[in-house]
Amino acid sequence: MGVLTGTQFLSEARFDLKNRPDTASSGLTDTRLMLMLNAAYRHLAHPSVFRHRELEFTYTITLVNGVNAYAFTPTGGVNIVSLRSVTHIDATVLTPTATRNKLLPVGPQWFDERTITSSSRPTTYAVEGNNLIIEPIPGSNENSELLFVRAIREPADLTSGTATVIGANWDEILILATRWRAELHLGYRDLAEATKLDFSALINEYEEFDKLHTEEEWDWQTQFRTPDSPMETA
């Protein structure tokens, strides 16, 4: 968990922006700077930038006889941005000893090319909009059995009194990333490019260490908000 609160991040970002006249509260208000802070936070939290263990998330979906489309987003306002895996649990209760079969991920078009079978345990799935589409369609034997989902969630936005859920060593990077977003919006493209290089170098140091200890496999992932922002290349 981070150390700095939202208010402290804003103060540090303004200091980094050198308190220029165009960053005064009359122009770059705290509300605007908070939007840039949270845009930077979501950028750094995305698994295509770095896989934060603090954002790993698991949940279950209960199968229903004759239904092959299930709401993708779990309750509680959690926004899923990446799937690690989807596994069929041959039981109505998740236990360590339950029989498990990992589903094969495919694209939605896969379902357009064949007749979908029914009344059997699911073996394949696709993400389509806000739904998981599975095949075969569960039958009466699979009713109330489970799908176990491993995912990466998006963090909740920061507020004035909250800290990040990722490690404290990311506070410095988030300050730089916030400055990057602000410099882009203020039109300082050269400064923004230099700032991006600074925080990208720090991310790469952590990424190299992380790759020594993890396997990077993803069934599905949202489109990455690339560091080469359209605002920089316009």
The pair of three-digit structure tokens given for residue 82, joined into one six-digit string: 């990446």
| Distance, CA of 116 to CA of 29 (rounded, Å) | 54
pTM of the shown model:
0.82
pLDDT tens, residue by residue, 93-102:
999 999 999 9
Q: According to the model, what pLDDT value does residue 230 have?
A: 40
With 70 as the cut, is the pLDDT of residue 20 above it?
A: no
pLDDT tens, residue by residue, 173-212:
999 999 999 999 888 899 999 999 999 998 888 765 555 4
Q: According to the model, what pLDDT value does residue 44 have?
A: 94
**Amino acid in position 213:** H
pLDDT band at 21 (very low <50, low <70, confident <90, very high): low
State the DSSP string of 62-82. Answer: E--TT--EEESSPSSS--EEE
| Distance, CA of 50 to CA of 207 (rounded, Å) | 6
With 60 as the cut, is the pLDDT of residue 54 above it?
A: yes
Q: Are 37 and 158 in contact (CB under 8 A)?
A: yes
The pair of three-digit structure tokens given for residue 162, joined into one six-digit string: 């909250």
**Amino acid in position 85:** S
> From its phi and psi, is residue 129 left (phi > 0), alpha (psi between -120 and 50) or beta?
left
Location of structure tokens 């700032």: 195
Q: For residue 144, give the 3-state DSSP assignment.
A: coil
Question: What b/e string do you get for 127-138 counting C-beta neighbours within 10 Å, with b at 16 or more?
Answer: beeebbbbbbbb
Handedness of CA 77, 94, 101, 137 (dihedral sign): negative
Q: According to the model, what pLDDT value does residue 217 have?
A: 62
